[in-house]
Amino acid sequence: MRAKFSALLLPAIFVLLTSAQLFPDPATYVLKDKFVGRDFLNGFNWETFDDPTHGRVNYVDKNTALQRGLTSASDTKFFMRADNKTMVAPGARGRDSVRITSYQAYGDGIYILDLSHMPEGCSTWPAWWSTSQQGPWPQGGEIDIIEGVNIGATNLASLHTTPGCSMPPYRLQAGTAVSASCDTSVNSNQGCGTSLRYGTYGTSFNVAGGGYFAMRRARDHGISVWYIKRDPFLLPDGPDPDFLISRIPDASFPTGNNCNYQDHFNDHNVIFDLTFCGDWAGSVWGTSSCANAAPTCTAFVDNNPSAFSNAYWEINSLKIYTPVGPPLITP
Q: Point out which span in 212-220, 231-239, 253-261, 306-314 binds ligand NAG (CB under 6 A).
A: 306-314
206 binds ligand NAG (CB under 6 A): no
DSSP symbols for 152-220 = --EEEEEEEBSSSBB--S--S-SSEE---B-BTTTGGG----EEEEETSSHHHHHHTT-EEEEEEEETT
How does DSSP classify residue 88? P
Q: Could you give the angle at the alpha carbon of 33 between the alpha carbons of 32 and 37, nearest 5°?
A: 160
Q: Known catalytic residue: 314?
A: no
Nearer of residues 65 and 225 to ligand NAG, judged by Cβ: 65
Q: Tell which positions 62-121 bind ligand NAG, by CB under 6 A.
A: 84-85
Q: Residue 329 burial (CB < 10 Å; 0-12/13-18/19+)?
A: exposed
The residue at minimum Cβ distance from ligand NAG is: 309
Nearer of residues 70 and 277 to ligand NAG, judged by Cβ: 70
Smallest gap from Cβ 268 to ligand NAG, in A, equals 30
Cβ proximity of 241 and 321 under 8 Å: yes
Smallest gap from Cβ 84 to ligand NAG, in A, equals 4
Nearer of residues 210 and 239 to ligand NAG, judged by Cβ: 210
Smallest gap from Cβ 81 to ligand NAG, in A, equals 6
Strand (E) or helix (H) holding 244: helix 241-245
Contact with ligand NAG (CB under 6 A): which of 12, 309, 324, 325? 309
Strand, coil or helix: 99 = strand
Q: Point out which span in 168-176, 243-251, 273-281, 304-312 binds ligand NAG (CB under 6 A).
A: 304-312
Nearest to 216 by CA among 250, 192, 188, 190: 250
How does DSSP classify residue 286? G
Q: Known catalytic residue: 142?
A: yes
330 binds ligand NAG (CB under 6 A): no
Count of residues in contact with ligand NAG, rule CB under 6 A: 5
312 binds ligand NAG (CB under 6 A): yes
Smallest gap from Cβ 238 to ligand NAG, in A, equals 24
124 binds ligand NAG (CB under 6 A): no
Rounded Cα–Cα distance for residues 325 and 208 (Å): 37
User: Could you tell me the strand order of the sheet in which 124-132 lies?
Assistant: 44-46, 99-106, 268-276, 124-132, 142-147, 154-160, 194-198, 176-177
* Residues near ligand NAG, by CB under 6 A: 84-85, 306, 309, 312
Catalytic residues: 142, 147
